[in-house]
Chains A and B, each alone.
Chain A
């Protein structure tokens, strides 16, 4: 028994050594930490595709060793996998993280072990605010960033009384609080606000009826994924869309799943850091190449993965070759990509980027597309307690 065990170990060691020799050169080991199963699996795959696509497009895929681990949506699972990536695989950096809960669980570990963490989704505010870290660099968005411009924007469109709805968890509360602050600062009034039990609400009928009874000028909501699909459809089925226009944080009608909402999504206006119809040479080229490769339109999640790949490659080009230099160089990267100019804020390590206000419209061929109504340039978060800049 012991000898078999020994032989297996020897074989594994041999394979590892051969693998190491075969991939000689300046290999960068990337721990890819994403949900490949569970409710966020579709987002994980989309980010993975975007990341790999960036490396592939640059012809540099063979410079990287990708070690993928599945976090599901469970913070303890994410932390255990991060430990494995850092201690056993000795990765140079970790890329990924969809759930804000997983991000919060990893923050102390990556900071203490001085491993850079390139966040490609999780938008929880405090990770680039009071709990910021020189090792946590976010290339996706923050919850506040996506929603802050919408308060002023709605006021400017003539809406004075707005009713808000969101799921009852950290992201929902942050998104609504930011919108509310912006809208009230502009001079608007919140006609009413409710938080629905997260992950346990299937029927929004009672909440939609409450919203109508408050007689607002508009309704502003944050929902994502399957909740967004159900909410948008139900809002429309109650005939609300004709009477009270629906606005939202852009994940409400994300290009990733807007087809499942069908005509109910038409006319819904939302704000997001990327939509596939941004008309710039960079984005048009990206969308065309992504479609040729994957036969589908890239969503904001794919772009987050893509930009994570871009930031990583550019940091390496700037001379980074280990954990410390990656953590130093990645925040210094700035470039113009599919979503427009992006840079990392030295005060918080959060991305600074444009926010797009867009409308979902029919594409004339039975499908749906996004029409950019307005661009709010260079949206930057306040440090919110982060002391990186001091």
Chain B
């Protein structure tokens, strides 16, 4: 195969891998917003907690796989505490209070991480089975990055099928469309909200533990990733699963292809796309409510 084909396939895999990481993170953010109408800026902090708890679990147990399963569980528990103490009270407090409180939580978590794990960034090795490189489409690509792509596709398919085919999916769709009407039809909307919130937290924790062998963990990682994740959600359409998928691909591919073709203005590209969406299609490309 020619050198340039190898180059482009590798870059497309890079784009796909970054899109999947963005998807794992933004899906929790957008689902919580779509159903609960709740702006949870602390989502990035939960992602960071997932990464750090994952590192500690992997060190303690010696197994990445244990960390992969337990870190999302631990983050969900943190989410439950947050929900019971703060978020439930703020459900009807309006977006400004929600943004202020969850923005404050970012700083609380930042300092909690600094106290528990220190200021210096931490790294983690991928599990032995996923180290090294694998040949795919005629190019050699890091195995762990292929794992991220696979994980993203798996979660994507599970969520799509659940939302479209299952009863709980139908309830969630009803709740997003009109929560009062859904409640009148006998759906326990509060319990549904709580379940979806937990799912969102688990996905944030999963994104954290999956990302850490590639990106490493820093106390500020939650805020660093929040901006791209919010851009994904806004471009895709607030609250929409399909929108989050599309938005992740757009942002992930623009970031990668921009780094290849237009390195000088790469960092502007994403924001230009965001501005264009806000001007011409403020509801996002695939809004949750038709």
Q: How many A-B residue pairs have CB under 8 A?
A: 100
B223 to chain A, nearest CB (A): 10
Can you list 8 A-B contacts with CB-CB less than 8 angstroms, sorted by A residue number? A200-B224, A202-B221, A203-B214, A206-B14, A210-B263, A237-B126, A237-B214, A256-B120
A224 to chain B, nearest CB (A): 11
How far is A130 from B36 in the complex, measured between Cα atoms in Å? 57
Q: Quick check: B260 and A260 within 8 Å, CB to CB?
A: no
How far is A42 from B114 in the complex, measured between Cα atoms in Å? 10
Tell which of B3, B11, B120 touches A42, judged by Cβ atoms closer than 8 Å: B120
Contacts of B216 in A (CB 8 A): 226, 229-230, 233, 260
Whether a CB of chain B sits under 8 angstroms from the CB of A337 is no
How far is A39 from B7 in the complex, measured between Cα atoms in Å? 34
Interface residues on A, range: 35 or more
Given known contacts A202-B224, A237-B144, is B14 in contact with A260 (CB within 8 Å)?
no
Given known contacts A202-B225, A205-B145, is B120 in contact with A260 (CB within 8 Å)?
yes
Whether a CB of chain B sits under 8 angstroms from the CB of A262 is yes
Whether a CB of chain B sits under 8 angstroms from the CB of A292 is no
Residues of A190-204 at the interface with B, using a CB-CB cut-off of 8 Å, are: 194-197, 199-200, 202-203
Whether a CB of chain B sits under 8 angstroms from the CB of A319 is no
- Which of B122, B256, B266 has the most A CB atoms < 10 Å from its CB? B266
> Chain A: residues with CB nearer than 8 A to chain B?
37, 39, 41-42, 45, 168, 194-197, 199-200, 202-203, 205-207, 209-210, 212-213, 225-226, 229-230, 233-234, 237-239, 256-257, 260-264
Who on chain B is nearest to A200 by CB? Answer: B267
Q: Quick check: B259 and A207 within 8 Å, CB to CB?
A: yes
DSSP class of B's interface residues: helix, strand, loop or mixed?
Answer: helix
Q: Quick check: B120 and A210 within 8 Å, CB to CB?
A: no
Whether a CB of chain A sits under 8 angstroms from the CB of B282 is no
Contacts of B11 in A (CB 8 A): 206, 209
How far is A197 from B255 in the complex, measured between Cα atoms in Å? 11
Contacts of B260 in A (CB 8 A): 206, 209-210
Contacts of B218 in A (CB 8 A): 39, 225-226
Who on chain A is nearest to B141 by CB? Answer: A238
> Chain B: residues with CB nearer than 8 A to chain A?
3-4, 7, 10-11, 14-15, 17-18, 21, 114, 118-123, 125-126, 132-133, 140, 142, 144-145, 213-216, 218, 220-221, 224-225, 227, 255-256, 259-260, 263, 266-267
Contacts of A196 in B (CB 8 A): 259
| Additional 5 contacts, C-beta under 8 A, given A39-B220, A196-B259, A202-B225 | A202-B215, A226-B218, A237-B214, A239-B132, A260-B121
Q: Quick check: A213 and B122 within 8 Å, CB to CB?
A: no
Given known contacts A39-B220, A261-B123, is B140 in contact with A203 (CB within 8 Å)?
no
Tell which of B17, B120, B133, B266 touches A205, judged by Cβ atoms closer than 8 Å: B17
The 7 closest A-B pairs by CB, nearest first: A42-B119, A226-B121, A197-B267, A206-B259, A260-B123, A205-B14, A226-B218
